[in-house]
Amino acid sequence: AAITAQRSGTMVAFLGIFGWGLFASTLVPALAVGLNWQGATRAGAIASIATGLIVTLGLETAAYSKVFTFPAGVTASAVAMVSSFLVFFIVSWLTRRHAHAELDPDVKLVMEI
């Protein structure tokens, strides 16, 4: 890591942005929605995490290699997080039949508080 930091300052910045963007786009939707919405499903969380990973990896790499540029104020991580949220809601909605039945009674009780 020290050698990489000394050779290329932009690589360190890219890895930092990529790391935080990956964290935000994969875990934030699954944790924020999954722990607070009774309609959330396991399939929705898995699809959301996979979408966040793939979109972040693709867009950050394309932006770093100057293949694609975003408009001012728009970041690859933000696009990935929005797409991850959308996929979470859509997949959970499509697989909602089993969502409430899968919850433990203790979890249902906590979510109702």
Rounded Cα distance between 72 and 54, Å, is 23
pLDDT tens digits, one per residue of 20-56: 878 888 888 888 888 888 788 889 999 999 999 999 8
Quote the pTM value. 0.74
C-alpha distances in Å from residue 6, one per residue of 3, 10, 19, 21: 5, 10, 19, 23
Provide the pLDDT confidence category of residue 4 given band limits of 50, 70 and 90: low
